[in-house]
Amino acid sequence: MTFKLGLTGSIGMGKSTTAELFMQNGCDVWDADAAVHRLYSAGGRAVEPVGAEFPDAIVDGEVSRDQLRKIIAENPDALRRIEEIVHPLLSHDRADFVASASNDILVFDIPLLFETGGDANMDAVVCVTVPEEVQRARVLERGTMDEAQFDSIKAKQMPSDEKCKRADYVVETDTLDHAAAQVRAIVNDIRRGRDA
C-alpha cells in the first residue's frame, strides 16, 4: 500500500522546491500545475473539449492561458464550464500517476488542496509556509505579476495560517537547509509509522 501525502501552500511559499526535496527523499510527486500544462499543450486531452466550448482559447493548437483569463474576465460562467472539462481530465491524469508510481510515498502537489476538498483523499497533508512579507517579495521578484495580480490570487486562496492549522505537517521554507531537514523528518516519520 502506498501513502498519499498532499502538499499544499499559497503562492510563493516554496511548494515546488519542497516537492523537489520529497523527490530527493525517494517519493514520487504528482504536480497539479504540470498536469494542467500537459492537458493544455498541443495534443493534450483538454485541447479539443476546451476548443469546442471556447474556440478563442486555442492558439497554435494549444489552450492559451492568457486567452482563458480574458474569456473568464468577460464571462462569469466560463470558469465553472472550464473546470467541468478540466477536473475529470486531471483526475484521470492523477490516476495514471498512481497506477505507474513505484515508491511507497506518493506526494500530490496541489495548490488548492483544501479549497477543493482534495485533502479528504489524502493520508496526511503537508503545508509549506513563510512569513507574508517573504511570500510577497518572492512572488514579485519573479517578475511575472504585479502587486494587484498577486493580491487577487491570494484572495482566492485559503489564508496560510488556516492551511497550516488544518495540515498534519508544516514545512517552513525560510532556508533550503531548514526545509530539507523538515522534509527528511516527515518522510522518516511516515515510514516509521508504516513499519510499526
Q: Examine the domain organization and report whether 123 and 191 are in the same domain.
A: yes
Which of residues 60, 76, 102 is at a domain's end? 102
Q: What is the CA radius of gyration of the chain?
A: 18
Residues 6+ away with beta carbon under 8 Å from 75: none
Q: Examine the domain organization and report whether 23 and 110 are in the same domain.
A: yes
pLDDT tens for residues 68-85?
Answer: 989 988 988 998 899 999
Residues 6+ away with beta carbon under 8 Å from 73: none
Q: Examine the domain organization and report whether 18 and 112 are in the same domain.
A: yes
Q: Examine the domain organization and report whether 148 and 93 are in the same domain.
A: no
Q: Examine the domain organization and report whether 179 and 111 are in the same domain.
A: yes
Q: Examine the domain organization and report whether 112 and 189 are in the same domain.
A: yes
As beta bridge partners, residue 6 has: 108, 125
Contact between residue 180 and residue 21 where contact means Cβ atoms under 8 Å apart = yes
Q: Examine the domain organization and report whether 116 and 183 are in the same domain.
A: yes
> What grid cell was written down for 171?
514545512
Instruction: Kindly report the CATH number assigned to the domain that includes residue 109.
Output: 3.40.50.300
Q: Cα–Cα distance between 23 and 31 in angstroms, integer?
A: 12
- What is the reported pLDDT for 194? 63
Which of residues 46, 74, 102 is at a domain's end? 102
Identity of the residue numbered 168: D
pLDDT tens for residues 119-141?
Answer: 999 999 999 999 989 998 898 88
* Number of independent structural domains in the chain: 2
Q: Examine the domain organization and report whether 128 and 96 are in the same domain.
A: no
Q: Examine the domain organization and report whether 119 and 154 are in the same domain.
A: yes
Segment 59-65 long-range contacts (CB within 8 Å, at least 24 positions apart): 63/39, 65/40
Q: Examine the domain organization and report whether 7 and 38 are in the same domain.
A: no
As beta bridge partners, residue 31 has: 109
What domain range is 116 assigned to?
A: 1-27+104-196
Provide the 8-state DSSP code for 173. Answer: -
Which of residues 102, 123, 140 is at a domain's end? 102
Cα dihedral across residues 180, 181, 182, 188: positive or negative:
positive
Q: Examine the domain organization and report whether 46 and 118 are in the same domain.
A: no
Residue 45, classed as helix, strand or coil, is: coil
Q: Examine the domain organization and report whether 145 and 182 are in the same domain.
A: yes
Q: Cα–Cα distance between 137 and 128 in angstroms, integer?
A: 16
For the chain (length 196 residues), average pLDDT per consecutive 10?
92 92 97 94 95 94 92 88 93 94 95 91 96 89 85 84 95 95 96 73
Q: Is the pTM above the cut of 0.85? A: yes
- What is the reported pLDDT for 47? 95
98, 33, 90, 122 alpha-carbon torsion, rounded to 10°: 50
